[in-house]
Chain A
Amino acid sequence: MYTPVKCYQPYYSPFDPCPPRTPICYATPPNLYLGFQQPNLPQYSLKEALYKGTLWPSLYDPYPLEGGGYREQSTEG
């Protein structure tokens, strides 16, 4: 199992001029974990594959995450 996002909390100084945009998150897509792809992995339907951008659910990396997993940027859209 893996998570597609990791977050960290940078040090915030009382003298920092901008309000903190915390936490800071970055993508850790499935290609970091899958290793050499095994044969016969489950596939999306062909139409779904096009709209996901890959034929295999195990390679799909949603962005931005539903529920704002990537800090404030995703609340805007």
Chain B
Amino acid sequence: MWYYEKKLQYPVKVTECNPRLAKYLVEQYGGADGELSAALRYLNQRYTIPDKVIGLLTDIGTEEFAHLEMIATMIYKLTKDATPEQMKEAGLGAHFANHDHALFYNNAAGTPWTATYIAAKGDPIADLYEDIAAEEKARATYQWIINMSDDPCLNDSLKFLREREVVHSQRFREAVEILKFERDRKQYF
């Protein structure tokens, strides 16, 4: 089971009400390479992966939920007090018509989240390569959002999230090495 903690992994501060940025950020909320996809992908794969890397998938998957909460916090703060007029100007008119200020799991173009974003092939190497690719794609998405954002406080948190993708990719690459070479076999033989 999981325990909730009333704490963000990293402080999230937003300089100004800016629903347009929220519209882009939602890509990392309900998009193909977003944090929801990441969390569900890793936590689902762990049932059919060698025991040696189950811990890693569990821990990275759990961290992704902390990142999802950070993205939600950004979107929440960027849109919290926006008027319907501001939402409309930001290109969130269609979102507002359906959801008001509620968050929803869709990508920046409004396509709802779908389980087809998640791969689970049941082959450890295929799945770990999928995970490495997912981390690199999420890193790239953070870059494109940072490029469009002029909010220095928000960018600080986005750079943290981008760096986490780099570290996760590193660990998944190590997981592949472990499965390739039985690196920790000393423990068992």
Contacts and interface: CB of A to CB of B under 8 A. Distances in A.
Answer whether A and B touch in the complex at a CB cut-off of 8 Å.
yes
Nearest to A29: B166
Contacts of A29: 139, 166, 169
A29 B10 CA distance: 22
Given A50-B10, A51-B160, A77-B155, A37 B166 contact: no
Interface residues of B, number: 26
B99 interface: no
Contact of B166 (A61, A73, A76): A61
**Contact count band on A:** 20 to 34
Nearest to B158: A63
B146 A63 contact: yes
A64 B170 contact: no
17 contacts: A31-B169, A31-B170, A31-B173, A34-B170, A36-B183, A50-B10, A53-B10, A53-B159, A53-B163, A53-B167, A54-B166, A59-B166, A59-B170, A61-B166, A63-B143, A77-B149, A77-B155
Q: Which 8 A-B pairs have the closest CB atoms?
A: A53-B163, A31-B170, A73-B147, A53-B160, A31-B169, A29-B166, A61-B166, A54-B167
